[in-house]
Amino acid sequence: MRLDEIAGMLSCETLSAADHEVDVEAVVASDGMSEILAFSRPHALMLTGLTNVQSVRTAVVADVSAIVYVRDKRPDQKVLDLARQNGIPILLTSLGMFDSCGILYEAGLDGVM
Amino acid sequence: MSEELLSRSFTLHSHDFDKAGETSTEIKGMLKELGIDSQVIRRVVVVCFEAEMNVVMYADEGTLTFVLTDEDIGIEIADRGPGIADLDRALEEGWSTATDEMREMGFGFGMGLPNIRRNADACEITSEVGRGTTIACRIKLDGDA
């Protein structure tokens, strides 16, 4: 599923230059970065409520295709700059984790853990 | 006997949460440039990142030594710090001595050492309370996770 389709479903605001042609194969959702490192697979979409620098570093290490920050939690500029440097698209939704996951699951995406 | 192709050593700073992960990111870039298989890179970088976070969260200072041979990648992380009193428990998923501050950073949920072990083909952890911990891992260049 393309990232722009997902952005539409979750009514996302784009915070960092998103390549909407990015293809998402699965979803990893957690506020625990080690869980994402343990279970994510390349090209998964990362959903999290953690908006610090480590969320972006985790995304880079785990090779995720993009990050969606849930619950309208807005990262600071330092985080967005790091995401840009590493080519990680950043989206923001006002939906909570449960609702976001439910919508993506209904749309046919699988979870990775 | 394997042939050493590249060796680098990095100093890891304690309690610097913003910089934690910089070394892992640098290693990832280096391995990509060398054309190492992406699955191998991922395993190496997960090991490095989790180890970096452990040093940042718990230790006073640490060193990460990275050695690439024609057969595998060796990663050794040696820290000066409190050590691990119960290594068996520390290797259980979900067991943690993390503080609230560490958990607010998204770490400290008892997955760090298990993640390191899961991604390495060989992993040896030695620790002495009051002195520090050393983690030595090897990841084969042609191995499967």
The CATH number for B48's domain is 3.30.565.10
Taking the Cβ of residue B21 and every Cβ of chain A, the question of whether any pair is shorter than 8 Å is answered with yes
Asked if residue B145 is part of any domain, the answer here is no
Asked if residue B90 is part of any domain, the answer here is yes
Domain containing B136 equals 4-140
Chain B residues with CB inside 8 Å of A37's CB?
46, 49-50, 111, 115
Asked if residue B26 is part of any domain, the answer here is yes
Query: What is the chain B residue with the closest CA to A55?
Result: B106
Structural element, H or E, at residue B87: helix B87-90
Q: Report the domain count for chain B.
A: 1
ipTM confidence = 0.86
Rounded to the nearest angstrom, the gap between the alpha carbon of residue B131 and the centroid of all alpha carbons in its chain is 18
User: Would you give per-residue pLDDT tens digits along chain A (113 residues)?
Assistant: 999 999 999 999 999 876 667 889 899 999 999 999 998 888 899 999 999 999 999 999 999 999 999 999 999 999 999 999 999 999 999 999 999 999 999 999 999 97
What domains can be seen in chain A, in order of their start residue?
3-106 (3.40.1390.20)
Digit-coded pLDDT (tens) for B109-135: 888 999 999 999 999 999 999 999 999
Give how far B72 is from chain A: nearest CA, Å: 19
The model's pTM:
0.90
Asked if residue B115 is part of any domain, the answer here is yes
The runs of H, that is alpha helices, within A1-113 are 3-9, 33-39, 53-62, 77-85, 97-106
